Amino acid sequence: MDFEKLVPLMRRLAIEAGERILEIYNSDEFEVRTKSDESPVTVADETADALISAGLREAFPEVTLVTEEQAASHGLKAETFLIVDPLDGTREFVQRRGDFTVNIAYVEKGRPLRGVVYAPAKERLFITAADGQSYEETGPFDLNRPGEWTRISVSTPDNAALMVVASKSHRDQATDDYIRKYAVKDSKSAGSSLKFCLVATGEADLYPRLGRTMEWDTAAGHAVLSGAGGEVVRFDTHEPLHYGKEGYANPFFIACAPGVDLKSV
């Protein structure tokens, strides 16, 4: 893969999709429908998906593309693929809470190597550069000319005073019970893949997810966290989380800074 070509393209498509999403987000009203899995979908999801998919397919027609909004792609099998969630955090979008992102990632041999996470309403953009290091870009966000990139890296965690982030829309008793196994200094909630990015910047040490996710939900955030020195492991075995699984479904997982003393169930 030509990362010098891929990374600027992912960035541009994410920003362009974010602009379209914000137009709908800031409109007086928009229709919300329910998909077969009971999750919500809006015209913003579909508009962003069409834009990103067209851009990726034009530039990399030989690379398999998996995207949340195209059910036919969920049956594809490949070792190397691009994976997209055009609007991660649709519930936050619908409730106008701002914690939604555009996620685009590249996976090779089970590992998300490059990714971009753009939160247009929060004006935060996180990206893995061509060299694999992760950065946060400072806006305003020009489509073709990057702003200032600041290198990000995970914290050095204090296991006696951990900073924890958990899901805003999907937090449950099991998650709270697990978090109580740790000595927690502070706990916050966030939507979408922003949780990975908060660990990547050192704003949190630990993000446990005891709930259903799909690979398009996590791949871009995982790539950003990896490029910042962090890790994502299975909740049950603490082994690295891999991609390209059957149906692109994830097991429960934990995202963290190295050095966190991970607890068993």
- Binding site per annotation, positions for substrate: 68, 87-90, 217
Instruction: Give the up-direction half-sphere exposure of residue 91: CA atoms within 13 A in the CB hemisphere.
Output: 10
Q: How far apart are CA 53 and CA 137, in angstroms?
A: 23
Q: Are 60 and 6 in contact (CB under 8 A)?
A: yes
Instruction: Classify each residue of 97-111 as buried b or exposed e, where b means 16 or more C-beta atoms within 10 Å of its C-beta.
Output: ebbbbbbbbbbeeeb
Q: Name, in order, each residue with C-beta under 8 angstroms of 176's C-beta and a sequence gap of 6 or more.
A: none
Report the alpha-carbon angle 17-253-240, nearest 5: 95
Q: Name, in order, each residue with C-beta under 8 angstroms of 249's C-beta and a sequence gap of 6 or more.
A: 212, 213, 214, 215
Q: How far apart are CA 187 and CA 197, in angstroms?
A: 15
Number of neighbours of residue 72 by Cβ within 10 angstroms? 8
Going by the annotation, the residues of the binding site are: 68, 85, 87-90, 217
Going by the annotation, the residues of the binding site for Mg(2+) are: 68, 85, 87-88, 217
Two tokens, residue 178: 């697990």
Q: How far apart are CA 35 and CA 23, in angstroms?
A: 23
